Chains A and B, each alone.
Chain A
Amino acid sequence: MKTQKTTLLCAVSLLAAGIAQAGDYRSQAIALIKQDFHPRGIATTDRIHEEGLQAVCNRTSDKPPAAVAERLQKDQFDAIKWPSDGKFMGGDWKKGEKIAQSGQGMAWNNKPSQENGGSCYNCHQIGPKETSFGTLGPSLYQFGKLRGYGEDIQKYVWGKIWNAKATNLCSQMPRMGHSGTLTEKQIKDLVALLMDPNSPVNKE
């Protein structure tokens, strides 16, 4: 364990050194951002500080060395909160659809009292009735039908929604559970949307 951590530390410092050599525009950019942003509503200025994973992705243009990626992905994976009753299924796909539709959450105009959504349709095709969907992420239409309804897939979906970085370190997808955007119950409803054979995603 200790050796692993030391290796990682070395890798990260090497990365940092590499960037310093390449030019100082990055440091100048960060200095400007720190100077030019002010808190508004729930969006506090601590948000502009890169956390470890973000810093690694930023410094490697989203292509970290495999050894670094593996180690950091494991940390992310280990922090995933699995369903407290041990069941991935049992959620309500109708509620899941509403969560997938809602773009509410985490922006400065959103109130802490409002329930967050997942903004899923912003980037993914999901249900057959919604034609207004984005294409930044892959289509999830017929997700369970195409991949099977087994517990391994259920677990994969749960993990992906909770923390997409656990399986792909610099994924563009937000870490919906990890960031506190969605609750355990909401994620269960989203798993139902993708994995319930009766959900329109799979049925129609």
Chain B
Amino acid sequence: MKKRIGALMAAAAMSAAFAAHAQQPMKQPAAKAPAKATQKATDATTADFEKFRDVLEEDNPAELFEAKGEELWKAKRGPKNVSLAETCDLGLGVGKLKGAYVQLPRYFADVDAVMDAERRIAHCMVTHQGFKAEDLAKKPFSSGNYTPELVSLTTYVAGHSRKMKIAIPQKHPKEKETYQIGKEIFAYRAGPWDFSCSTCHGEDGKRIRTQNLPNLSTPEGAIRAFQGWPGYRMTGGVMHTLQWRMNDCFRQQRFPEPNYVSPSITALLSYMGVNANGQMYKGPGIKR
């Protein structure tokens, strides 16, 4: 455990170092071909980050949260005093974790609905353990030293799909429907700035500032967005899941806030996840 905390602190220190490095003024673009010159510089920044990630993932800070998630998964908890391990079915049978994350979102007959990983775990906590949904939604995202239980649990579950192929099912009519609805939400422009998800994530090779934007309508882009989550985010030094990522996209889209673990988010995760199908999920990792 001590070793893990050490790794985490090292990660924090390195993330600061990386941020400082990234902010160093780079060679000014030549007047004649400004775009090309700076594209090169940005690629170098990205390559640097990849190196950092490789080093860090040898002693992955996400494992800290997996360990916490394991305790929470196995312990008898909540008003009904049962464990998720003995009650929660993530699609492959009660308590079965291996490969469950890379096959979510999927259809669940017990609720006659498609659910993503975090929504399904929240559903189990409410239905089986007796927690209140509104309590889970009160402060659902990590900040400072605070990590919600659902973040640790989701990280733990995702850890059991490490190095497995993404295989989100599209057999049930509701799974197909959810994908199509997700595709529509992805393209839906509204709000004061007329933005949709697609405004930033519908084309190849684009950036906001120096941040590369994956094109989520392609398999290559979708895997980049699926990969690394749940992730230890260098910015802020906290663990986040895809729920948070989607939430923060809507903030930047200048939309109102999506409800925590809502069907709209499931639909978007279905669209993105199915587009990434067939590719390898590396497991919980590190994000910039």
| Count class of interface residues, chain A | 35 or more
Chain B residues within 8 Å of A181, by CB? 192-193
Docked pose: A26 CA to B182 CA in angstroms: 9
- Tell me which residues across on chain A come within 8 A of B263, comparing CB atoms: 32, 35-36
Of the 9-residue stretches A65-73, A132-140, A148-156, which lies at the interface with chain B? A132-140
- The reply to whether A25 and B192 form a contact with Cβ atoms under 8 Å apart is no
- List residues of B (252-271) whose CB comes within 8 Å of A's CBs: 252, 254-259, 262-265, 267
| A128 CB-CB contact with B under 8 Å | yes
Q: How far is the CB of A122 from chain B (nearest CB, A)?
A: 5
The reply on A175 being an interface residue by CB < 8 A is yes
CA distance A189 to B248 in the complex (A): 30
Query: Are B194 and A174 closer than 8 Å at their CB atoms?
Result: yes
A23 touches B180 (CB 8 A): yes
* Cβ contacts A to B, 13 pairs, < 8 Å: A29-B184, A30-B184, A32-B263, A33-B264, A48-B190, A49-B190, A125-B34, A131-B41, A132-B210, A134-B209, A135-B39, A142-B31, A174-B195
B185 to chain A: closest CB distance in Å?
5
B20 in the interface (beta carbon within 8 A):
no
Which of B177-208 touch A at CB < 8 Å? 177, 180-185, 187-196, 199-200, 203, 205-208
Q: Which residues from chain A contact B254 at a C-beta distance below 8 Å?
A: 43, 47, 106-107
Q: Is residue A58 contacting chain B, with contact meaning CB distance below 8 A?
A: yes
- In the complex, the chain B residue whose C-beta lies closest to that of A176 is B193
Contact residues in A for B199 (Cβ distance below 8 Å): 136, 172
Task: Tell me the chain A residues, 46-100 only, with Cβ under 8 Å from chain B.
Answer: 47-51, 53-54, 57-58, 61
Cβ-defined contact, A36 with B25, below 8 A: no
* Contacting pair B29 A128 (CB below 8 A): yes
Residues from chain B with Cβ under 8 Å of A58 in the complex? 187-189, 196
Q: Shortest beta-carbon distance, A123 to chain B, in Å? A: 7
Q: A25-B183, A33-B264, A131-B41 are in contact. Are A54 and B28 (CB under 8 A)?
A: no
Shortest CB distance B19–A (Å): 12
A131-B38, A131-B41, A179-B193 given; A37·B259 CB < 8 A: yes
The smallest C-beta distance from A120 to any residue of chain B, in angstroms, reads 11
Are B208's CB and A122's CB within 8 A? yes
Q: In the complex the two chains form, is A174's CB within 8 Å of B259's CB?
A: no
- From B181, B194, B203, B255, contact of A29 by CB (8 A): B181
Bound complex: CA A174 to CA B194 (Å): 6
Q: Given B31, B180, B209, B267, which contacts A132 in the complex, CB threshold below 8 Å?
A: B209
Bound complex: CA A61 to CA B192 (Å)? 19
B208 near A179 (CB under 8 angstroms)? no
The interface residues of chain A lying within 8 Å CB-to-CB of B213 are 136
A127 to chain B minimum Cβ distance, whole angstroms, is 10
